[in-house]
């Protein structure tokens, strides 16, 4: 499984059993935003899901600097590299759909050929756009390293999706195009959600929304426990915005390092009460710092790649 069949039948079954036997409390569904625990304690401030979930700074001095001191930071090189890989995933998913809808059903090898045609130029374009966000111009070696890894990721994904189309068509015979796309590339990338009822941004962007209302977050750095909070945040926001339950969340770690094939690690989460409560507590901690203009101080050990380092 790599971005193709994101939700395994085994996981879907586990979620179904969990919902039947345990379930999610009504007060912790996003649509209950107007009362109780979900109601934002501070009005008029709208946080990004990452302001809440990205707990790289153990004391949350980063949110104090951002919202109270008004410090604006530029992204670091690892953050920019992560942005590049996200854009490549979106680029390939959209490329597959564009190609199929404009040319009709084609064989997998032909689809692959079209997707990788000029992929070096496409990736270089993404990288140059993203590195412009850095404070200082990066060295050529860093740019070339990101381009090289990005191209490998692009080709790898193109191959996976092309094979996915072939696999589906070869087992089901001649089908209408919409069914092929829905089965082989069902992902909706950068899906917009209004999280404002929960005190979150009006323009949240879910990395991938998968059929069956599953939120997917793609991560490119090291695995961290708090990454699962992103899933709870997007699920709550989606429920608040659409009034539709979201019970499944998937974290995908992508590493496009030196190995010829990118590495993908998938973690599946049932979005139960515990995770939802953890997200809301983290949101309220951020609101408390902003409301009381409270400087939480520095931790014993800082996150080594913290973008606030020079302001702190």
- Which of 1/312 has CB closer to ligand SF4? 312
Nearest alpha carbon to residue 206 among 159, 242, 157: 242
Sheet containing strand 214-219, edge to edge, reads 188-193, 204-210, 214-219, 248-255, 263-270
Q: Per-residue string for binding with ligand SF4, 156-195, x by CB under 6 A?
A: ----------------------------------------
68 counts as binding ligand SF4 under rule CB under 6 A:
no
Whether residue 55 contacts residue 281, with contact meaning beta carbons closer than 8 Å, is answered with: no
Question: Would you give the DSSP letter of residue 309?
Answer: G
Whether residue 150 contacts residue 128, with contact meaning beta carbons closer than 8 Å, is answered with: no
Q: How far is the CB of 66 from ligand SF4 (least distance, A)?
A: 9
241 counts as binding ligand SF4 under rule CB under 6 A:
no
Neighbours of 122 (CB within 10 A): 20
Site for ligand SF4 in 259-298 (CB under 6 A): 298
Site for ligand SF4 in 22-61 (CB under 6 A): 57, 61
Whether residue 276 contacts residue 238, with contact meaning beta carbons closer than 8 Å, is answered with: no
Q: How far apart are CA 204 and CA 192, in angstroms?
A: 6
Q: How far is the CB of 64 from ligand SF4 (least distance, A)?
A: 8
Question: Would you give the DSSP letter of residue 74?
Answer: P
- Which of 181/306 has CB closer to ligand SF4? 306
When binding is defined by CB under 6 A, the residue of 2, 37, 42, 306 that contacts ligand SF4 is 306
Question: Would you give the DSSP letter of residue 271?
Answer: -
When binding is defined by CB under 6 A, the residue of 17, 133, 175, 312 that contacts ligand SF4 is 312
Number of residues forming the site for ligand SF4 (CB under 6 A): 11
309 counts as binding ligand SF4 under rule CB under 6 A:
yes
- Which of 63/157 has CB closer to ligand SF4? 63
200 counts as binding ligand SF4 under rule CB under 6 A:
no
Nearest alpha carbon to residue 38 among 30, 49, 46, 48: 30
Q: Which two tokens stand for residue 172?
A: 């089901």
- Which of 74/202 has CB closer to ligand SF4? 74
Q: How far apart are CA 301 and CA 169, in angstroms?
A: 53
Whether residue 271 contacts residue 23, with contact meaning beta carbons closer than 8 Å, is answered with: no
- Which of 104/297 has CB closer to ligand SF4? 297
305 counts as binding ligand SF4 under rule CB under 6 A:
no
- Which of 61/283 has CB closer to ligand SF4? 61
Q: How far apart are CA 213 and CA 107, in angstroms?
A: 29
Site of interaction with ligand SF4 (CB under 6 A): 57, 61-62, 298-299, 302-303, 306, 308-309, 312
């Amino acid at each position: 499984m790599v971005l193709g069949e994101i939700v395994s039948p085994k996981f879907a079954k586990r979620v179904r059993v969990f919902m039947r036997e345990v379930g999610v409390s009504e007060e912790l569904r996003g649509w209950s935003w107007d009362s109780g625990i979900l109601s934002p304690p501070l009005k008029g401030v709208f946080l990004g899901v990452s302001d809440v979930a990205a707990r790289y700074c153990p004391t949350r001095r980063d949110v104090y600097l951002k919202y109270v001191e008004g410090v604006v930071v530029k992204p670091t090189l690892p953050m920019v590299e992560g942005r590049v890989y996200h854009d490549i995933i979106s680029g390939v998913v959209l490329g597959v759909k564009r190609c199929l809808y404009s040319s009709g059903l084609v064989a997998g090898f032909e689809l692959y050929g079209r997707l990788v045609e000029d992929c070096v130029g496409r990736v270089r374009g993404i990288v140059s756009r993203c590195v412009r966000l850095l404070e200082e111009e990066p060295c050529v070696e860093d740019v070339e390293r990101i381009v090289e890894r990005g191209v490998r990721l692009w080709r790898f994904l193109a191959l996976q999706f092309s094979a996915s189309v072939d696999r589906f068509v070869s087992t089901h015979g001649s089908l209408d195009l919409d069914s092929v796309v829905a089965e082989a590339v069902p992902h909706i990338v950068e899906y917009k959600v209004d999280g404002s009822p929960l005190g979150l941004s009006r323009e949240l962007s879910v990395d991938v929304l998968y059929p069956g209302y599953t939120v997917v977050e793609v991560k490119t750095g090291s695995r961290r426990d708090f990454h699962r909070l992103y899933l709870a945040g997007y699920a709550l926001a989606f429920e608040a915005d659409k009034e539709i339950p979201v019970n499944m969340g998937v974290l995908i770690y992508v590493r496009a390092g030196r190995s010829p094939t990118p590495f993908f690690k998938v973690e599946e989460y049932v979005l139960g009460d515990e995770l939802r409560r953890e997200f809301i507590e983290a949101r309220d901690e951020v609101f408390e710092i902003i409301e009381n203009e409270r400087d939480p101080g520095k931790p014993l050990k800082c996150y080594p790649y913290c973008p606030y380092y020079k302001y702190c």
